[in-house]
Amino acid sequence: MCGICGFNWRNPDLAAKMSSVITHRGPDQSGVWCDDNVSLAHRRLSIIDLSDDGRQPMSNEDGTLQVVFNGEIYNFAEIREELEKHGHRFKSKADTEVILHGYEQWGFECVKKFIGMFAFALWDAPKKRLWIVRDRIGVKPLYWYHKAGRFVFGSEIKCILEDPEVERKVNHAALYAYLGFEFVPAPDTAFEDIHAMPAGHWGVLENGNFKVERYWDIGMPETCPVRSEGEMVERIRSLIDDAVRLRLVSDVPLGAFLSGGLDSSTIVAMMRKHNPGRLQTFTIGYEDKTFSEMDYAQQVADVFQTDHKVLIIDKMDRASLEKSIWHLDEPMTDLSSIPLMFICQKAKQYVTVCLSGEGGDEVFVGYDRFKAAKIASFFNALPDWFRRGVVGRFAESLADRPQKKGAVNMFKRFVEGALLPEEAMHLRWQYFMNKEFERNLFAPGYKALVGPFDPFRRVREHAANCASRDVVNREAYLDTRFMMTDSVLMKADKMSMASSLEIRVPLLDHRLVEYMGTVPGSWKLKGLTTKYIFRKALDGILPKNIVWRGKQGYSLPVKNLLRTQLKDYMIELLHEEPLVKEDFDAAYIDRLIDEHLSMKQNHNHVLWGLMNIAIWHRRFFTSEAPALPKYEVPAPAADNGKA
């Protein structure tokens, strides 16, 4: 796990400056390589081959190829063996080197042999060609800028911004998509002219032209093959087992995040199968039990005899919120971002690598929104006047409840989503704009600049790439290729890298993702039971109450914090920040604040979103933001088994 950056001219000082701003991604080593056509820089977090032989930028034998690499290629040993049979000779034990020799042997096609998570840039000097690649699923981030012949790339946007010729400009149109989906969908970012490389794509810079191409997709068939339940259960178990086994390769200590949910519990169970020794697990807890899963996590830890550590989050401060947004580079409203940052800080005191359960809800169909979409097919049969005029108004009249879910809160959220356009499919329940917000929240100048609004354009574009006629599988495709990549995975990468901790995600092994794309949706969502076939595969491996309980998650209780600890901070930001005053209607924001504080409505998504915009703008565009402390790797804890 590392950080990479570079550009298409010679300037070793700028390359070093760009890499220094992402020191948190790789505090162990740094390196710069330049010629007249390119500059490459690297920050190293040593995981495999801790010697200087693994230092980057790394070259092939004659120096005609140079590579900078972020991530892991888990099957590098097998690829290395195959390449050695073709006559290639290796100078290190690092997985980085298989990229160089793989490119020599197979060209661009070498990437299709890699099992792993990666973003890399390879310079081919004889061809004067720069090739940048993001992994199939999008576990590792990669950004680029290309304007007036100037090409810059990096693992994080902040290093691109170190180039003084890259103008910092707000992408106002992206803020509309962000407030709806709570992230900015690729290839856009919140910065104008800076782009995110989509998952499963690569880009080639040659003769001054930069071309982006897709090299991988899930490949869901129109109709799924017929298989028995037993056959699917065995195949899923086998794929998960091998995915976890591969991700245990490390020359540094590793552990696992354990929430007590099905996904993380599965990872721990499989890790224990391959690791009979000490296994360290980490979890988050809250005083409010409706937001906490500590008891379930402890149960799983006891079953598999892990060295378990719990971090209780009982308060939220401004500094932590500002730090998280600086590391995210963009406003992002995922309510679990800050808890994840906290638990990564804690875990880094004990380990350098953590396995985590990201992706399970997308691949196996675990979110409540899948159930909501199924129920909505019956709700939509009711007359429109009744749905909107009676049910909709009744739901709106109900006051918010302080707990995370509960019957009233779930009913209100279901109706809100069900009344959005059906073209958004199940993502209606992960979308937080509506016609009223569009009319009242945005300032007239913003509407003139950005309008007309088309909230689900990106959804339609992604849906067009899916050949499946299975409704649930089309929904799973959208979750995996649209929602997860630029939200869940960017949160996981950047919140972990903030503490120089590597997160590995076995449930997003592309072989498992591809196989699940051929499993009928009726085996994933059976009635209203989510993850049905996944649960069957884990039956007998995990305790039954863990296998069959509903999803809870570990999101921060933001709606309550905005009424208590963060109330004054919210009001200050939304009244004073220049971008908020420029793009949004102040009187309407005050109305939303009043309704939220009085618990008449829960407006936490839009208010938290606006706060994130305000902090992001202050952090990246003004000199008023307080300085972040100098980066330091979290100090190791005393190895006494206690947190």
Concatenated DSSP letters for 553-593? Answer: -----HHHHTTTTTHHHHHHHHHH-HHHHHHB-HHHHHHHH
pLDDT mean over 75-90: 95
CA–CA separation, 474 and 119 (whole Å): 27
Residue 576 lies in a domain: no
Q: Which residue has the tokens 């790797």?
A: 633
Look at 69 and 286; give whichever has higher pLDDT: 69
Same domain, 36 and 164: yes
CA distances 158 to 9, 155, 191, Å, are: 19, 9, 11
Q: Are residues 181 and 242 in the same domain?
A: no
In a shared domain, residues 350 and 204: no
Residue 108 resides in a domain: yes
Q: Could you tell me if 385 and 536 are in contact, meaning their C-beta atoms sit under 8 angstroms apart?
A: no
The pLDDT tens digits of the residues spanning 443-495 come to: 999 988 887 888 899 999 999 999 999 999 999 999 999 999 999 999 999 99
Residue 256, token pair as written in the block: 């696992």
Lowest average pLDDT, out of 101-110, 192-201, 589-598, 619-628, goes to 619-628
Confidence of residue 391 (pLDDT cuts 50, 70, 90): confident
- Average pLDDT value over all residues in the chain: 91
Q: What is the per-residue pLDDT across 332-363, written as a single tens digit (0 to 9) for each?
A: 888 788 889 999 999 999 999 999 999 999 99
Residues 207 and 252 in one domain: no
> Do residue 331 and residue 267 come from a single domain?
yes
- Over residues 251-275, the mean pLDDT reads 93
Residues of the chain with pLDDT > 70, as a percent, come to 93
On whether residue 587 sits in a domain, the answer given is no
Residue 89, class by beta-carbon neighbours within 10 Å (0-12 exposed, 13-18 middle, 19+ buried)?
A: exposed
Same structural domain, 28 and 162: yes
Q: Is the pLDDT of residue 557 over 80?
A: no
- Tell me, what's the pLDDT at 410? 81
Please tell me the total count of domains within the chain: 2
- The single-letter code of the amino acid at 434 is N
What average pLDDT does this structure show over 129-138? Answer: 98
| 110-124, 187-201, 526-540, 551-565, range with the lowest pLDDT | 551-565
Q: Looking at the structure, do residues 126 and 188 belong to the same domain, yes or no? A: yes
Point out which residues pair with 281 in neighbouring strands: 256, 308
Same domain, 105 and 248: no
What CATH number does the domain containing 81 carry?
3.60.20.10
CA atoms 580, 583, 587, 591: torsion sign: negative
Say what percent of the chain tops pLDDT 90. 71
Query: Which residue in the list 2, 34, 159, 224 is annotated as catalytic?
Result: 2
Q: 642 lies in a domain?
A: no
110 as an active site residue: the answer is: no
What whole-number distance in Å separates Cα of residue 275 and Cα of residue 245?
9
pLDDT of residue 378: 87
Residue indicated by tokens 């106002």: 172
Over 50: is that where the pLDDT of 168 sits? yes
Residue 642 has pLDDT above 60, yes or no: no
End residue of a domain, out of 522, 548, 574: 548
User: Span 13-27, mean pLDDT?
Assistant: 95
What are the tens digits of pLDDT across the range 227-238? Answer: 999 999 999 999
Going by pLDDT thresholds of 50, 70 and 90, the confidence category of residue 641 is very low
Q: Residue 627: is its pLDDT beyond 70?
A: no
Instruction: Report if pTM > 0.75.
Output: yes
Q: Same domain for 200 and 245?
A: no
Higher-confidence position of 396 and 134: 134
Residue 583 is assigned to a structural domain of this protein: no
**CATH number assigned to the domain comprising residue 501:** 3.40.50.620
Does 466 reside within a domain?
no
Full residue range of the structural domain in which residue 161 is found: 2-214
| Mean pLDDT in residue range 286-313 | 85
57 and 153 housed in the same domain: yes
The pLDDT value recorded for residue 311 is 86
| Residue 430 covered by a domain | no
User: What tokens were used for 143?
Assistant: 């950004």
For residue range 208-217, what is the model confidence (pLDDT) as tens digits? 999 999 999 9
pLDDT digits (tens, 9 = 90+) for 24-55: 999 888 999 999 999 999 998 877 666 677 78
Q: Residue 643: pLDDT above 50?
A: no
Mean pLDDT of 410-429: 85
Contact predicate 135/119, CB 8 Å: yes
604 vs 608: CA distance, rounded Å: 6
